[in-house]
């Protein structure tokens, strides 16, 4: 299916042309038929000679209904621009073209109607000249009369050629269905309609509404009046919803894939096709999708502005919008969304710096460019902005700009060195302190930054085993010399300070794994459990604490905490009668992991 909007003509002639093409009059309201004036959006469809099914969104032409016109054109990829041969180019034609240009629509066709009432040549030439200067560029023109049928076959053929050029919608993308109509059907409940530009909706799907964030279930689907179990982009679709009342939604709302979009209250946009940013009014109306919302406009640079919205909208990078002055009833400019999640502007000069950052932005999702701007960002946030992510996360779902990540790693090494200099007895910087000083949102990021010679130890980042302060390292060497002949003869409490192992030095040595602290004043070298396993395995099994003390050549004050430590390491097993034994394998247990 292809979808096309009709625009340009103010009165009943456009709707009559659609009726001649489709056999269905798109004006649904009795007032529309009575006045001969399209007031609301109308819908019809036809099968083209090429076999393509083409759906029409008929939009009002009168200047009083331009917001309705924009709601219909916004999500549609192509336009059938209608000009009457006997009237030529009209003011509403200019505003419709300005809106189409602002939205960046690039596919179109010109139909010059009422060719039975006047020579279509002058009107066609004038319209094509105006249209050529817009994003539509050079368009094919067909003269036609809905009354006599002249040119209808040629118009159908031209529509077939247009349909063949239209890009396919991305049915694998998240759903964003801008709602242009909501009504209730007796026995079925709420039905909403819209143009599905991306994604696929299936019967039974759970979607969320942009306006309220409520979950709704798809009860039934129709496409072009036919029941279906699945509809993929691009298509006109009617969705019967369960779990939502008509008062809770309507035109301007959207149905979304859960977690597929981020709510946007501020966005930075590029202004094009209108006045410079500085000349725009500070308040205006932005037409995005089927929504029309009042916005505050803050110029950041020559063609960059920040919009503040009164309610969140599901926007993505590259979305197009129209900025309009409802008082003057004219299009002010087109807008391209550059960043739906911009940073705060709090410091002096922040607006100008931000404009500089966005100067080269193309308005297309680009992973490398977004990482350069954001430095650190969650993967889900980038994908919700429309970015295809190929970079592997650095931690959890965090993505990092490579140069920034390298700079953070260097900065962490500097912090560890500085902290060691300030507090040599602590040995390393606490993880949370490092996170705060680096300004990182997650401790997992700090852990991911740790690489040799840095290492994690008991919740601190240290500079590895060789980072023990010199004074403490010297004290450990003196302890090792004292224990050389009797590795289990732990020095008495008063002897430890004499060796240079005061309270803080002892704590630092234990954190680095340089000593094994079994009790407050019982300190051995880290290989003591391995050596104990070798000696204890040679005893008659099971053995008592006394037998162990004799085998280890040490006092009970050392044997008891050492055996308890060995119990925890699986080197020894405590039996119900308080005796112990080594594992039945008889093999010395491996040295325990360094603390």
* Residue pair 529/566 in contact by the 8 Å Cβ criterion: yes
User: Does residue 145 form part of some domain?
Assistant: yes
What's the Cα-to-Cα distance from 230 to each of 58, 233, 260, 471, rounded to whole Å? 25, 10, 19, 74
Whether 32 and 90 map to the same domain: the answer is yes
258, 249 contact by CB (below 8 A): no
* pLDDT tens digits for range 138-174: 999 999 998 899 999 999 999 999 999 988 888 889 9
Residue 268 lies in a domain: no
Cα dihedral: 447, 448, 453, 457 (round 10): 20
Statement: residue 595 has pLDDT above 70: no
pLDDT tens figures, 393-442:
999 999 999 999 999 999 999 999 888 778 766 768 999 999 999 999 99
110 within some domain: yes
pLDDT at 590 over 70: no
pLDDT at 586 over 70: no
In the predicted structure, residue 462 carries a pLDDT above the cut 90:
no
**Between 220 and 452, where is the model more confident?**
220
pTM for the structure as a whole: 0.75
Residue 589 has pLDDT above 60, yes or no: no
Residue 107 sits in the same domain as residue 209: no
Q: Is residue 392 part of a domain?
A: no
Q: Tell me: the pLDDT tens digits for 532-551? A: 988 998 899 999 999 999 99
Average pLDDT over residues 229-253: 89
- Does any domain span residue 270? no
Residue 266 has what pLDDT? 96
Query: SS in 3 state form for 336-401?
Result: EEEECCCCCCCCCCHHHHHHHHHCCCCCCCCHHHHHHHHCEEEHHHHHHCCCCCCCCCCECCEEEC
pLDDT surpasses 90 at 594 = no
Together in a domain, 154 and 180: no
Residues 119 and 199 in one domain: no
Condensed to tens digits (0 to 9), the pLDDT of residues 26-63 reads 666 556 565 555 667 888 889 988 888 898 888 875 66
Q: Look up residue 525 and give its DSSP letter.
A: -
- Same domain membership, residue 459 and residue 417: yes
Answer whether residue 456 shows pLDDT above 50.
yes
Tell me if 267 is assigned to some domain: no
CATH number at residue 561: 1.10.10.10
Mean pLDDT, the chain, as a whole number? 88
pLDDT band at 446 (very low <50, low <70, confident <90, very high): very high
Q: Residue 558: is its pLDDT beyond 60?
A: yes
In this structure, are 82 and 140 located in the same domain? yes
Residue 376 lies in a domain: no
591 confidence band (pLDDT: 50, 70, 90): very low
**Residue 226 and residue 146 in one domain:** no
Q: What is the mean pLDDT of residues 330-355?
A: 91
The pLDDT, as a whole number, for residue 587 is 46
Number of domains in the chain: 4
Is residue 373, in this structure, part of any structural domain at all?
A: no
| pLDDT for res 547 | 94
Ramachandran assignment for 568, one of left (phi > 0), alpha (psi -120 to 50 degrees), beta (any other): alpha
Between 14 and 240, name the one with better pLDDT.
Answer: 240
* CA dist 179 → 34, 213, 288, 289 (Å): 27, 15, 12, 9
Q: Residue 201 belongs to a domain with what CATH number?
A: 2.40.30.10
Domain boundary among 165, 193, 217: 165
Residues 61 and 157 in one domain: yes
Per-residue pLDDT reduced to its tens digit, 478-504 = 999 989 889 999 999 899 999 999 888
DSSP-based three-state secondary structure for 199:
coil
- Are residues 142 and 19 part of one domain? yes
Q: Are residues 8 and 136 in the same domain?
A: yes
Is the pLDDT reported for residue 8 higher than 60?
yes
Same domain, 109 and 212: no
Q: What pLDDT does 471 receive? A: 85
Domain that holds residue 432: 403-467
| Same-domain pairing of 7 and 115 | yes
Judge whether residue 198 has pLDDT over 50: yes
């Amino acid at each position: 299916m292809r979808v096309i909007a009709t625009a340009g003509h103010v009165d009943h002639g456009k709707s009559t042309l659609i009726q001649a093409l489709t056999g269905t009059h798109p004006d649904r309201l009795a007032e529309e038929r009575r006045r001969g004036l399209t007031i609301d959006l109308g819908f019809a469809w036809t099968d083209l000679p090429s076999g393509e099914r083409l759906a029409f969104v008929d939009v009002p032409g009168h200047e009083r209904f331009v917001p309705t016109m924009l709601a219909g054109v916004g999500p549609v990829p192509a336009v059938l621009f209608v000009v009457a041969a006997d009237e030529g180019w009209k003011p509403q034609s200019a505003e419709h073209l300005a809106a189409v240009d602002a939205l960046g629509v690039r596919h179109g066709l010109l139909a010059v109607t009422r060719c039975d009432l006047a020579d279509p040549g002058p009107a066609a030439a004038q319209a094509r000249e105006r249209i050529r200067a817009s994003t539509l560029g050079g368009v094919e023109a067909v003269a036609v009369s809905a009354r006599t049928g002249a040119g209808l076959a040629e118009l159908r053929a031209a529509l077939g050629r247009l349909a063949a050029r239209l890009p396919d919608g991305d049915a694998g993308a998240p759903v964003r269905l801008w709602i242009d109509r909501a009504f209730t059907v007796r026995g079925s409940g709420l039905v909403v309609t819209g143009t599905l530009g991306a994604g696929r909706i299936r019967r039974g799907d759970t979607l969320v509404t942009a306006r309220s964030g409520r979950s709704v279930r798809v009860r039934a689907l129709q496409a072009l009046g036919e029941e279906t179990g699945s509809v993929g982009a691009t298509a006109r679709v009617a969705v019967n919803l369960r779990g939502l009342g008509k008062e809770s939604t309507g035109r301007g709302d959207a149905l979304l894939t859960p977690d597929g979009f981020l709510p946007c209250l501020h966005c930075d946009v590029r202004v094009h096709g209108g006045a410079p940013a500085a000349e725009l009014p500070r308040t205006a109306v932005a037409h995005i999708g089927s929504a029309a919302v009042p916005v505050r406009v803050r110029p950041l640079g020559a063609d960059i502005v920040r919009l503040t919205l009164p309610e969140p909208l599901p926007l993505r990078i590259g979305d197009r919008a129209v900025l309009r002055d409802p008082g003057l009833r004219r299009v002010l400019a087109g807008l391209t969304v550059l960043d739906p999640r911009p940073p705060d502007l709090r410091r002096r000069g922040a607006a100008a710096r931000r404009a500089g950052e966005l100067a080269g932005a193309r308005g297309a999702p680009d992973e490398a460019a977004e990482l350069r701007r954001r430095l650190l960002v969650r993967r889900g946030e980038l994908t919700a902005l429309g970015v295809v992510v190929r970079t592997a996360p650095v931690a959890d779902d965090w993505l990092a700009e490579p140069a920034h990540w390298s700079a953070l790693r260097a900065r962490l090494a500097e912090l560890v060195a500085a902290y060691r200099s300030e507090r040599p007895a602590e040995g390393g910087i606490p993880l949370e302190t490092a996170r705060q000083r680096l300004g990182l949102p997650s401790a997992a990021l700090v852990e991911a930054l740790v690489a040799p010679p840095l290492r994690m130890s008991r919740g601190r980042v240290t500079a590895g085993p060789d980072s023990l302060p010199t004074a403490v390292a010297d004290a450990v060497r003196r302890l090792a010399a004292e224990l050389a002949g009797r590795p289990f003869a732990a020095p008495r409490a008063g002897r430890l300070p004499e060796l240079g192992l005061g309270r803080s030095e002892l704590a630092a040595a234990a954190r680095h794994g340089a000593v094994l602290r079994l009790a407050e004043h019982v300190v051995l070298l880290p290989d003591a459990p391995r050596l104990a396993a070798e000696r204890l395995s040679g005893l008659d099994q099971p053995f008592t604490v006394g037998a162990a003390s004799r085998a280890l050549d040490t006092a009970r004050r050392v044997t008891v905490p050492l055996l308890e430590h060995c119990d925890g390491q699986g080197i020894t097993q405590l039996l119900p009668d308080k005796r112990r034994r080594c594992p039945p394998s008889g093999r010395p247990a491996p040295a325990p992991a360094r603390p």
